[in-house]
Amino acid sequence: MKNLVLVGFMGSGKSAVGRRVAGKLRMRFLDMDAEIEQREGRKISDIFAHEGEPHFRRIERRVTQELAEREGLVIATGGGVVLDPRNVEDFRRKGVIIALGVGADSVLARVGQSAKRPLLQVQNKHEEVKKLLAYRDPLYRAAGPCVETDGKTIEEVAETVIALYQNHL
Ligand code: S3P
């Protein structure tokens, strides 16, 4: 079984949808952020605060290389995984990448208050989300077919993701 790899911005629903999809397909679910926290023995926000984003990206790169070699996983990636094109190439080799699309308003409504997103601990969250999204949205959409999530339930998104995955096997 090929891996099913979900990419998308913070708050696009990668973890919630991934978990639902994995349950329906009876595949194993793996959350990359949780995997990194477990391996490093601390929170992502701690890693950003003490070692900085470049260090986090190196860990993310290493974990990507490992996970991309495995099979049969539903993987919820971190929102920045597409910043390194090598990550996308690696995941594509043995997997199907599906992007989850989200607008700035939904991002803010879903994760705007969360302390778990170091990149959103800024004064003007709306501007920051718009700026990051403008840069990243094309990268998510270039990585694989995109499922829009604004105004949809987890169940609706999960069903569409499953249909796309099965079409791309
Ligand atoms: C990041 C997204 C986060 C996490 C880290 C960096 C990003 O994951 O990997 O805070 O660069 O967009 P989620 O997309 O699961 O929030």
C-alpha dist (Å) from residue 57 to 13, 52, 70, 79: 21, 9, 20, 11
Confidence of residue 95 (pLDDT cuts 50, 70, 90): very high
Pocket test for ligand 1, best of 5, 7, 10, 47 (most atoms within 8 A of CB): 10
Confidence of residue 14 (pLDDT cuts 50, 70, 90): very high
**Spatial contact of 91 and 32, defined as CB atoms under 8 Å apart:** no
Distance 78 CA to ligand 1 centre (A): 4
| Count of H-run helices and E-run strands, the chain | 8, 5
Nearest-atom number in ligand 1 for the CA of 15 is 15
Confidence of residue 79 (pLDDT cuts 50, 70, 90): very high
Percent of the chain, pLDDT > 90?
99
C-alpha dist (Å) from residue 101 to 45, 98, 141, 156: 24, 10, 8, 13
Does residue 144's CB lie within 6 angstroms of at least one atom of ligand 1? no
**Spatial contact of 168 and 27, defined as CB atoms under 8 Å apart:** no
